[in-house]
A and B are shown apart, each in its own frame.
Chain A
Amino acid sequence: MAEPRTMFEKIWQRHVVVDRDDGYTLLYIDRHLMHDGSAAAFARLKERDMKVRRPDRSFATPDHYILTSSHRPQDIADPQQRHLVEVIKENCDAHGVTVFAAGDPRQGIIHVVGPEQGLTQPGLLMVCGDSHTSTHGALGALAFGIGSSEVTHVMATQCLWQRKPKAMRINVEGRLGDGITGKDIILAIIGKIGAAGAVGHVMEYTGSAIRALSMEGRLTLCNMSIEAGGRAGMVAPDDTTFAYLKDKPYAPKGAMWDTAMAFWKGLPTDPGATFDHEVTLNGSDIAPMVTWGTSPEDALSVTGRVPDPASAADQTRRESMQRALDYMDLKPGTPVEQIPVDRVFIGSCTNSRIEDLRMAARIARGRKAQVPTWVVAGSGLIKQQAEAEGLDKVFREAGFEWREPGCSMCIGVNGDTGVPGQRIASTSNRNFVGRQGRGVRTHLVSPAMAAAAAVTGRFTDVRKMLG
């Protein structure tokens, strides 16, 4: 019998173009996703007078620089920003690459658009010049972020040189409580293994708590693999995956669906396959999570208290905790539920899908925002669906702002930033210093927790609000 293999290993082996003796492998890229930060990569391709090798395997959409007040490029005041939103269409048109441009309802955050269009499929090798490409692993793809030079390399050759990462399994067993989401699971994982806990590894999430997650929950989970340092994150494809993928625009149809299905069914990790590293968490122990510091690893339960640097294991950690507390303007020992917020952001490639919006609406319904709160859907299609379900009305009635799709306050390069000193409950993925604007204090939470913070003006255990 053949050696048992992990899902990662199977996908890797299937994409080897060249294996060199020095440990480097030339891998074939099935799908290359691009966003409005790809202008420099296109410019380098042009300098070499080259064309995109596989325009049929490349897809793009503007997300980072697009406004969320209006999608008309002419409304963008900053000329460099406007150029980036416009030039992606010009570049894609010139190379025959499919682009979901501003004004197209299919436009959205690239990591939302890929799965939504059925571009993301089990067993594919996918890359994008963005670290949250790990998102696509939720469907059982091997997907990772690359730098801008590598983007040019993929444009030119459809391949990438890689050294094989190690494999890590994160096993989450048990039943999640009501109000506990993929976001809480991944924050609990990062809190446990640390922001560098998975450096050099591809993570596979397994266990009953993961199997029970919806596709949206799995996308959130895999999205933040990079925040644990992971090269990629993945979940084995199953009926949840297939039901999600069926009839998506770019999913295989008819007999091709059956052919693809035969391949997809063989992808899950074989029994007995070994991982370089294994971690287990108990899903029923996971509470709603809130980050208190400036790294996603600074995560704790909403029922907890801000930690004391005096309790740190070593001096480096003590100093970094102190620095984080100073930046966040928090005192050790403060109960999380007593921390007031100034603003709330619900959106980003982590948490802007329909289920996220439904969950936020469930909390917002019949309540009133105490602080400015934005809801930014992940794509035009999600925005339409939410409106068809009346979620926008729920949000508006609660005093939330309902905006146009884009990355928005996750990174703020389109101008959607907070002001210095502001404390924001955010459903995004990075609470780094200055991520949402200079001096802005970011606390990462789930959409449910963000909505709860919006209507109470402070962090509140959302479990108390589920009626």
Chain B
Amino acid sequence: MEPFTKLTAIAVPIDQANVDTDQIIPARYLGRSREQQVEGFFHDMRLDLNGRPREGVTLNDPAYKGAQIIVGNHNFACGSSRENAVTTMVDNGFRAFVAPSFGDIFFNNCFQNGALPIRLPTERVARLRVILHELPGAKLAIDLAAQTVVGPDGQTDKFDIDSFRKDMLLKGTDSIDFTLGYQQDIARFEDGQRRDMPWL
């Protein structure tokens, strides 16, 4: 997995709360190859039924071209467990997501794909979205080791992240290899369970 250390990049605001993973990648793309899924990225939110870009959608605004960060709202990426929601964003260049809260499964899925979900207080995220609307193309600077996000207004915010997740991201650790280091513990558990829950 590609490590995540620092990222200074254009951030694009998405104001809606409860943006679900069906919006991030509509279900009809799920049975396709990863390459084919790239165009599924927010497809129906970006384009109307005739394939024309919708007005007022930040993701269509050329001023945010090259963005690698999304600043969302409450319960960002809620809904289905589809990991394609993360991979389609990664494949479209996005590596970090800032929101007051996330869908739990999406949040976990990010770490498997070298992407960083950052929770910041509601008011601060709202402020960042306002700034990004006012100054399209403005950048955020994220430093994972220091656990900081610097906004276009120069304000630095600290964010929380478990040291477990942080180390894995910083080093790009493969989680299966990591867990296989606990083989003996797993085998011991299985022995115990054979006695404890013999009906399984």
A residues bordering B, Cβ < 8 Å?
A: 14, 17-18, 20, 22-24, 26, 28, 30, 37, 48, 50, 57, 64-65, 78, 80-81, 84, 124, 129-131, 145-150, 152-153, 156-159, 161, 163, 165, 195-196, 199-200, 226, 229, 231, 252, 256-257, 259-260, 263, 295, 297, 316-317, 319-320, 323, 411-413, 420, 430, 432-435, 438-439
Contacts and interface: CB of A to CB of B under 8 A. Distances in A.
B162 A316 contact: no
A439 B185 contact: no
B104 A229 contact: yes
B26 interface: yes
Contact of A17 (B15, B84, B189): B189
A420 B49 CA distance: 9
A26 B185 CA distance: 10
B17 interface: yes
Interface string B62-98: 0000000000011100111111101000000000000
Interface string B9-27: 0000001111010110011
Contacts of A152: 176
B108 interface: yes
Given A145-B81, A153-B176, A23 B16 contact: no
Contact of B197 (A81, A163, A263, A295): A263
Contact of B23 (A412, A420, A433): A433
B83 A17 contact: no
Residue from B80, B113, B175 whose CB has the most chain A CB atoms within 10 Å: B80
Contacts of B164: 20, 22-24, 161, 163
B163 A22 contact: yes
Sorted from nearest, which 7 A-B pairs have the closest CB atoms?
A149-B112, A252-B199, A196-B75, A147-B109, A147-B83, A256-B199, A148-B83
A80 B162 contact: no
Nearest to B45: A433
Nearest to A165: B104
Contacts of A80: 31-33
Given A146-B108, A434-B22, A439 B49 contact: yes
Contacts of B20: 295, 430, 432
A231 B104 contact: yes
B44 A24 contact: no
B193 interface: yes
A78 B162 CA distance: 43
Contacts of A129: 81
A326 to B, nearest CB: 12
Contacts of B190: 28, 158
A416 B28 CA distance: 11
A323 B83 CA distance: 26
Nearest to A123: B197
Contacts of A145: 81, 105
Contacts of B145: none
A102 B103 CA distance: 32
Contacts of B108: 146-147, 150
A90 B2 CA distance: 31
26 contacts: A14-B196, A23-B164, A28-B189, A30-B200, A50-B176, A57-B200, A124-B200, A129-B81, A130-B81, A146-B81, A147-B83, A147-B109, A147-B112, A149-B109, A149-B113, A158-B190, A165-B104, A226-B79, A412-B27, A413-B31, A430-B20, A432-B22, A433-B23, A434-B23, A438-B26, A438-B49
A316 B14 CA distance: 12
B68 to A, nearest CB: 21
A310 to B, nearest CB: 18
B49 A81 contact: no
Nearest to A317: B17
B18 A196 contact: yes
Nearest to A263: B197
A153 B199 contact: no
B180 interface: yes
A28 B193 contact: yes
Given A148-B83, A433-B23, A24 B103 contact: no
A161 B80 CA distance: 20
A65 B79 contact: no
A30 B180 CA distance: 18
Contacts of B74: 196
A433 B197 CA distance: 44
Contact of B30 (A37, A199, A430): A37
Contacts of A64: 30
Q: Quick one: which of B30, B44, B49 has the most chain A CB within 10 A?
A: B30
Interface in B87-129: 101-106, 108-109, 112-113
Given A17-B186, A153-B179, A157-B179, A24 B78 contact: no
Contacts of B103: 199, 229
B171 to A, nearest CB: 14
B27 A18 contact: no
Contacts of B101: 196, 199
Contacts of A259: 198-199
B45 to A, nearest CB: 8
Contacts of B44: 433-434, 438
A22 B105 CA distance: 20
A17 B182 contact: yes
B81 A411 contact: no
A48 B179 CA distance: 14
A439 B43 CA distance: 13
A76 B144 CA distance: 47
Interface string B176-195: 10011010011001100100
